[in-house]
Amino acid sequence: MTALANLALAFMLLQYYPYPYPRTRVPPPQTAPGGANTDAVATFTGTFKSADKKYVTITLDEGNSMRMYITHSTKFIRDGKPAKAKDFEADEYVSVDAARDARFNLIAVRVEAIKKPAPPKSPQTDKPAQ
């Protein structure tokens, strides 16, 4: 019975004493000109494979596959305009800005359809080998 009375007294005291420091609001993510998210920790480029309600999957140029979570704040961009995940087609070249959550999972922040860069030109030698 004494433990219950002590617990009730502790709850009553907590109501009268203010929180030890002011509560702060988390600011929204900052964006730079051009829509780049400054909270993103990495940018990946590769071919779009699939997207569902939970994940977006891309294949990097090196051949590795990456699966990142999609959240309600993930932005899909096509031709500089907002789009939806279903507007993207398989084997389309994309750039994905990603961030980490509290559990270090990759979160897709921004998925944008881009043009595939031209392959680098190899140096041509016009001189015959000697």
Instruction: Identify whether 32 is part of a domain.
Output: no
Containing structural domain, residue 64: 42-113
- Is 18 inside any structural domain? no
- In this predicted structure, the answer to whether residue 7 has a pLDDT above a threshold of 70 is yes
Please give the C-alpha separations between residue 75 and each of 68, 82, 124, in angstroms, as whole numbers: 13, 7, 42
pLDDT tens string 35-67:
555 566 899 999 999 999 999 999 998 899 999
Q: Do the domain assignments include residue 119?
A: no
Read off the pLDDT of residues 63-100 as tens digits, 9 standing for 90 and up. Answer: 999 999 999 999 999 999 999 999 999 999 999 999 99
Using a cut of 0.85, tell me whether the model's pTM lies above it.
no
Domain CATH for 48: 2.40.50.320
Number of domains observed in the structure of the chain? 1
Residue 71, pLDDT score: 92
Residue 47 located in a structural domain? yes
Task: Say how far apart CA 13 and CA 65 lie, in whole Å.
Answer: 55
100 vs 42: CA distance, rounded Å: 9
